[in-house]
Structure 1
Amino acid sequence: MTATIASAVPTTSTNTISRKARNAGRAISGLVVAFLLFDSLSKIAGVQAVKDASAELGIHAHLVPVIGIVLLACVAFYVVPRTSILGAVLLTGYLGGAVTINMVNEKPLVSTTLFAVYFGVAVWAGIWLRDSRVRAIMPVLIGK
């Protein structure tokens, strides 16, 4: 059964990714991780500005550290190469929740809501540029 599952996953050679693309993917992913680490740790630390912004969105103060821990776990999955695709999926869900809560609270579309969407795109762009497994399941024709 394991052989059947393993053979169902498309594989491509790691040589198909250029050094420039891989480095660009690492740079994008690094920026995403740095920002999300800062965000999660500020939630866990209970920074007053974060509590105030969360309260403005209707999130109770006791839930802010929990949200930070969830985000930190998602980032941890994203950072580990073996679980990076799962991490990208989890971060997509997390950012989707951010979009939803901002829309429910009628925040300006251009500022906070689109920022989360762009961040989700950056999560996947970084991993697509550096991981041949993602390219195999999400082929994109660029320049063809």
Structure 2
Amino acid sequence: MEMQNTIPKPVWWTGTIVKSLLCLFMAFDALMKIIKHPSAVEGSVQMGLPESSIPFLGVYLLLATALYIYPKTVMLGMLLLAAWLGAAAGIMYRDGIAGHPYIFPIVFAVLIVIVEFLRNGRIRTMVPFTK
């Protein structure tokens, strides 16, 4: 948020709204895994993950999301979420489920990086798309 004055307000607000929606989804998914909701357990077991690992995965996802929300650790959170989503895409691709569901985590990972590009001046300086 410290770089908001160098980023146009509509761009910053667009990034903030999309980031909020992404974080809500990730936090909801993490909580469903932590409480071992039947649908979360069923989906994870279908992918070949042991049921005993589901709460740990939920804690990892919740921690990564919290790090992504906190401005001082946004880069670490972004990397941990990208790793999570990359692993999810790999597991889904390996299982060969019809309908290409592995595209969903890839789109989420790309959105996370785009959102930080829209909101964060430090990332804009690291990846300069303009002169």
Q: TM-score range by the shorter chain?
A: over 0.9
Mapped partners of 1:129, 1:108: distance in 2: 34
Where does 1:1-144 land on structure 2 (aligned, <5 Å)? 14-108=4-98, 110=100, 112-141=101-130
Kept after mapping to 1: 8 A contact 2:30/2:59: yes
Aligned length: 129
Paired letter, 2:118: L
Give the CA RMSD over aligned residues. Answer: 1.5
Checking the alignment, whether the CA contact within 8 Å between 1:103 and 1:109 is kept in structure 2 is no
Structure index of larger Rg: 1
Moved over 3 A (4+): none
Q: Structure 1 vs Structure 2: percent identity of aligned residues?
A: 29
Q: CA deviation at 1:20?
A: 0.6
TM-score (norm 1): 0.84
Residue segments in structure 2 that go unaligned for 5+ positions in a row: none
TM-score by length of 2: 0.92
Gaps of 5+ in 1: 1-12
- What is the Cα deviation at residue 79 of structure 1? 0.2
Q: Is the 1:43–1:65 contact (alpha carbons within 8 Å) kept by the matching residues of 2? A: yes
User: In the TM superposition, what is the alpha-carbon distance from 1:14 to its structure 2 partner?
Assistant: 4.7
Shift of 1:86: 1.2
Q: In structure 2, what is the Cα distance between the partners aligned to 1:101 and 1:68?
A: 16
SS in 2 for 1:139: coil
Deviation readout 1:2-43 (Å, 9 max, x if unpaired): xxxxxxxxxxx6532001111011011101001000100000
